[in-house]
A and B are shown apart, each in its own frame.
Chain A
Amino acid sequence: MKKKLLLVPTLIAVAIIVLPLISLLSKVSWSNLLGDISELNSRRAIWLTIWSSTIATFITLILGLPLAWHLSRSKSKVLKNLRVLVLSPLVLPPTVAGLALIAFMGRNGLVGSYIYELTGWSLPFTSWAVVLTGVFVGLPYMTLICESALRQLPQDVEDAAVIDRVDEFDLFRLVSLPQIRSSIAVGTILSWARAVGEFGATLMFAGSMPGITQTWSMAIYQYLDLEPSVAYSLAATLLIVAVLVVFSVRNSIERAFR
């Protein structure tokens, strides 16, 4: 009897996650799937999403790993408070994230207004706005996962390296990073997935223009009004890609969370 106390919530939890996904797949007309996703606007949206999220993730890696490293080694109060700030995009609703990015890089934005005055160029409504949004929402995942892994590294390896007079950059590059490979892989995949799935903030900040700023998830939303079957095909493809990506790093996930 007591065994069931744990089993029933477990089954309900699995059902809440799996049943909507199966229901989504059941609505897809599979014979039209290839035709639906090769329509011009579908292809453009998929391609834009893949390359912009990949660039965003690359930037996230370059910026996020050093940040995670510094946070993991900090004992100062300033850095502790910085961590809370860095992680805040995790809990921000997309509308707030979108407004913040407009206030930052919009034509009248804190930084964007200077760029606009000097060059006449502004970031919103360009593909780079999609990339920046991806970095903004992805960085916290990379930082959170890698910082926690760096903190758990055994101190004696680092001490030995310090005795051998390894400088800080090499300590980071040659000693710390190789030990958290799995966490970096998981952080990369999660940041990438977060960028791929981003919708609200991108719409507010970058707009929705096929081929330039209309992402995969925006195309799904747009097609719901026009041709629902294409929306379902695009959604199912996104789901399949997401599952495949997670599946491809399943070993890393196991190691990272051990």
Chain B
Amino acid sequence: MRKTTVKVFAASSLTAELSEFQPIYESAHQNTSLSLSFGGSSNLATQIKNGAPADVFISASLEDMQTALNGRKIKVTPYLSNRIVLAVPTYSKINKISDLTSDVIWIQCAHEVPCGNAADRGLAVESIKSMPKSLEPSVASTVAKLLSGSVDAAFIYNTDVMANSDKLRAIQFSDPSRTKVTYFYVTLNISPAIHNLSTHLLSAPFRRILKKAGFGAP
């Protein structure tokens, strides 16, 4: 029997979990191979809008999902949630968000990308008097600067902290609900292979794996 390839476009914060899932799924479903493409949600949405052949799209923002659908009426499922936290190295003396004084080098994502937008919402009700040193274009470059020791603290996803729990710890906002980011799931094409994959990705066992990685319910 011929192999079908299912193309999954997903927000880059899902890279670790989906990459781990891929070989397990493929060995259990010999006729299906998965092609995973990760990136910033807005970037992926633009690619899909411009005709990139995605079967499944998992977006970290509803707005980007609408860009990708470009007017097509397809059911969008709220899938997961993540939240922005203040991440610091485990040895750091910073313990609360108000510890971000002007001698601390801290960064966040740019205001227009989901991770920066969520950080802004949280910071709006915190009282800090310092400014970020950089407004990064993606959460990936933000995490990289924190892990390389270029900065003392950064606003990144809770799941990024969990994935580096040996090096980083998370400091919560006083109102964590303000920095919540909801992920949405959509199937853009119809085939038995796509349906089967979606059933797995939306199933309780896979959601438990995601929960372990630090994701929450939508």
Contact = CB atoms under 8 A, between A and B. Distances in A.
Contacts of A225: 42, 110, 112-113
A203 B42 CA distance: 19
Contact of A125 (B105, B113, B148): B105
Interface in A75-134: 102, 106-108, 122, 124-125
Given A207-B107, A222-B110, A225-B113, A125 B133 contact: yes
B134 interface: yes
Interface stretch (A4-12, A28-36, A208-216): A208-216
A222 B112 CA distance: 8
B148 A208 contact: no
B192 interface: no
Contacts of A226: 112
Contacts of B42: 225
A222 B150 contact: no
Interface residues of B, number: 18
Contact of B149 (A108, A208, A209): A108
A225 B46 CA distance: 10
Interface in A200-238: 203-204, 206-210, 213-214, 218, 221-222, 225-226
B136 interface: yes
Interface of B: 42, 105, 107, 110, 112-113, 132-137, 141, 144-145, 148-150
Contacts of A208: 110, 134-137
A171 B27 CA distance: 73
Q: In which size bucket is the chain A interface?
A: 20 to 34
A245 B137 CA distance: 29
6 contacts: A125-B133, A204-B141, A204-B145, A209-B133, A218-B137, A222-B110
B101 to A, nearest CB: 14
Given A208-B110, A222-B112, A225-B113, A107 B149 contact: yes
Contact of A107 (B136, B144, B150): B150
Contacts of A124: 150
B119 to A, nearest CB: 15
Contacts, number: 51
B134 A125 contact: yes
The 3 A-B residue pairs whose C-beta atoms are closest, nearest first, are A207-B134, A125-B133, A226-B112
Nearest to B111: A226
Given A125-B133, A125-B134, A218-B137, 20 more contacts: A106-B150, A108-B148, A122-B105, A203-B136, A204-B141, A204-B144, A204-B145, A207-B107, A208-B110, A208-B134, A208-B136, A209-B132, A209-B133, A209-B134, A210-B135, A214-B135, A222-B110, A222-B112, A225-B42, A226-B112
B137 A203 contact: yes
Given A102-B150, A209-B132, A209-B133, A203 B112 contact: no
B62 to A, nearest CB: 15
Contacts of A203: 136-137, 141
